[in-house]
């Protein structure tokens, strides 16, 4: 399968702990996105990378959150000092290089379900 992969699929942690998630995009996709989804809601945008550059961050991304994409391939999302309100599904998506005149189509991974106790 050559789709977007995420690891781990599930994470249970205690409040105050740090967690890190990994996303591997579809190969040759230079654009990578992180979203958060809570129960009964659609995904909400967190941040966007083009190659290794982080070009946009949502105000949802508090200073406890940090994302990296050091070599322009896989990405990590770290949450420090987790809070119960951080419990959600964290989704990664990728899209190919933009073609003139067309906006990106984003392909999602299976997500990482985070539960903070």
Stretch that binds other proteins, among 14-22, 53-61, 67-75, 76-84 (CB under 8 A): 53-61
How far is Cα 87 from Cα 22, in angstroms, rounded to an integer?
A: 17
50 versus 80: smaller Cβ distance to other proteins = 50
Question: What is the phi/psi pair of residue 87, to 5°?
Answer: -60, 125
**Site track 59-98 with other proteins (rule: CB under 8 A), x = hit:** --------------------------------x-x-----
Estimate the share of the chain in helix, then strand, then coil, as percent rounded to the nearest 5: 5, 50, 50
Give 68's strand partners. 76
Place of tokens 């591997």: 24
The correct pick among 1, 2, 27, 42 for binding other proteins (CB under 8 A) is 42
Largest CA distance in the chain: 46
Should residue 105 be labelled a site residue for other proteins when binding is judged by CB under 8 A? Answer: yes
Residues that bind other proteins (CB under 8 A): 4, 6, 33, 35, 40-45, 48, 55-56, 58, 91, 93, 102-111, 113
């Amino acid at each position: 399968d050559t789709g977007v992969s995420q690891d781990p699929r599930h994470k249970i942690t205690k409040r105050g702990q740090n967690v890190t998630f990994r996303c591997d995009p579809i190969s040759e996709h230079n654009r990578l996105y992180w979203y958060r989804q809570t129960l009964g809601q659609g995904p909400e945008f967190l941040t966007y990378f083009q190659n290794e550059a982080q070009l946009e961050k949502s105000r949802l991304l508090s200073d406890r959150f940090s994302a990296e994409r050091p070599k322009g391939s896989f990405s990590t999302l770290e949450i420090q000092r987790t809070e119960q309100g951080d419990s959600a599904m964290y989704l990664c998506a990728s899209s190919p290089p933009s073609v003139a005149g067309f906006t990106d189509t984003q392909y999602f991974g299976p997500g990482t379900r985070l539960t903070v106790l």
